[in-house]
Amino acid sequence: MHSQLRRQSAAVVTAVALLAGCSGTAPSAAPATTASQPVGTGTVRYAAPGSPSNAVTDPHGLLPGESDVVRMALTYDVLTVPGADGSTKPRLATAWRPDATLTKWRITIRGDAKFSDGRQVKAADALFSLRRMGKKAAENFGRMSMFDLDASKVIDDTTFELATKKPYAEVGKALEGATFVVPDGSDDFTKPVPGSGPFRPTGKGGAQAVVYDRNDDWWGPEPPAKVIEVRAVPDPQARAQALLSGQVDLAGGVPATLAKQQEGNSAVRLLRRPGATLYPLVMRMDTKPFDDRRVREAVRLALDRKQLLDTAFLGYGEIGNDLITPKDPTSPANLPQRARDLARAKKLMSDVGLAGGVDLTLHTTTAYPGMDSAATLISQQLAEIGMRVKVAVEPPDTYFSAVYARKPFYLSYLGGIPFLDVVRVTLTPGSPTNETAWKDPAWSADLDKALAEPDDAKRRPLLGDLQARLRDQGGYAIWALSDRLDLAKAGLSGVPEGIGFASAFIDQVSLDG
């Protein structure tokens, strides 16, 4: 989630909290150098989106920056992780099996995992950690809201029973959400708490960086780097410049303008993760004129998606088809691509009595590269169907507390999180973060039915149908998907391929190719 969200924001990123920084003039191209960090020392330095002034130490509350999530993923194990293809993979949990009702799940954890103080990681530690997350629901956007944690219980050292409030077939995916496991009883995180992750914090690095030593007792594949240094850098331009000047070996989330400049530079690698970022156009369905479905459809039909992709993301991505999580494994395939149709859009405007046009304010910010230019272009495109749109560029430090889920028309942000996480955060009636004011009882009932279907092959199309209905009836216009763009020093390998939360696991990064 955006590093300026604080505790009031809700822009989502249950999976991975992404950068909060301002755009600026792209630095001139410069050859990457490693004078201060010769290959072979076993240290990898990562400039991650985030802010050192907002850095947190508690793994179970709000994780405001990607750098925070990366630090936690180095220190602590999680129960499951998202694979590069979006499917759930085991991590500390090796199995999750339901009873016939899909309301009681037996979770099995590894027997060979140890905390850094030598203690075995036990089921009681895992359940304690989930319960602690549940108590911090107001901070982590109800990440454990599907579970009845009071009714859950430890069975033995490597097994616990996890109860759900109603049939819920996607427990494995729910356990992907930053389920960092800490020792039973841990509550004071102002001092280092033992973790069972692939690295251990050293206490070195000062205010701008955190240095980690490899945990040679970790149960997983041995990390190739002996040391990983994580620097929280809020400005995407500054992250890129740190890479180009040889201060770091990997820069996460760089602007498309700078990535374009580095094409052909043999000293650096441009890493692209398709479909990692969306800037949804939000239309609140409880506010005129967007309370009429025909107006929302007219907006979607008026958008020139290719022009927006080329302008906001410089072509690094793909055009959108108004699906809120198009890279989710359950996202419906083979839907006809929504194309621009000004004649149809104008007729819809006329049908609702707005043939003479309407005055609107579209809110945007500079928090993420291209958000302001996208809004300006959207206003120009909507003018062709009579919408007189004034663009209001809001300060990035208050955007996700003053605009998000409050204003009727604005550009939002999503960073590669699964469909069910989007449902929990932004599509739940009554939630303060229900940014489009979505409340369709039939849709919600069908969601419950889908989650009660035990057969994966049958459940996926049910979830896909829900997304298709939201696409046509809801308050989002998804006009393009941007690639996540990272810059790496030539020879760096092992950078995770997945988007969202999957991108936080950098323990296999190596400078040795």
pLDDT of 337-363, one tens digit each? Answer: 999 999 999 999 999 999 999 999 999
Kindly list the domain boundaries of the chain, sorted by start residue.
77-187, 276-483
Give the confidence band of 513 by pLDDT, cuts at 50, 70, 90: low
Give me the chain's average pLDDT, please.
90
Q: Across residues 207-227, what is the average pLDDT? A: 93
H or E segment and range at residue 477 = strand 476-477
| pLDDT at residue 293 tops 70 | yes
Residues in Cβ contact with 100 at an 8 Å cutoff, skipping those fewer than 6 apart: none
Distance CA 67, CA 344 (A): 45
pLDDT of residue 18: 29
Q: How confident is the model at residue 13 (pLDDT cuts 50, 70, 90)?
A: very low
The two counts, helices (H) then strands (E), for the chain are: 14, 19
CA proximity to 246, closest of 64, 469, 34, 395: 34
In the chain, % of residues over pLDDT 90:
78
**pLDDT, position 26:** 28
- Return the CATH fold of 276-483: Dipeptide-binding Protein; domain 3 (3.10.105)
Compute the average pLDDT of residues 102-129.
98
- Band (pLDDT 50/70/90 cuts) for residue 28 is very low
pLDDT tens-place string over residues 169-205: 999 999 997 899 999 999 999 988 999 999 999 988 7
Among the ranges given (93-97, 101-105, 235-239), the one the predictor scored with the smallest mean pLDDT:
235-239
Q: Which CATH class is domain 77-187?
A: alpha beta
Q: Assign 421 to helix, strand or coil.
A: helix
458-495 pLDDT, tens digit each:
999 999 999 999 999 999 999 999 999 999 999 999 99
| Dist. CA 459–CA 451, nearest whole Å | 7
- From residue 95, alpha-carbon distances to 22, 29, 92, 452 in Å are 43, 48, 9, 19
Please give the pLDDT value at position 72. Answer: 96
Q: What pTM value is reported for the model?
A: 0.87
Model confidence at 52, in pLDDT bands (50, 70, 90)?
confident
> Given a cut of 60, is residue 435 above it in pLDDT?
yes
Stronger pLDDT, 469 or 15, i.e. the higher one: 469
Say if residue 3's pLDDT is above 50: no
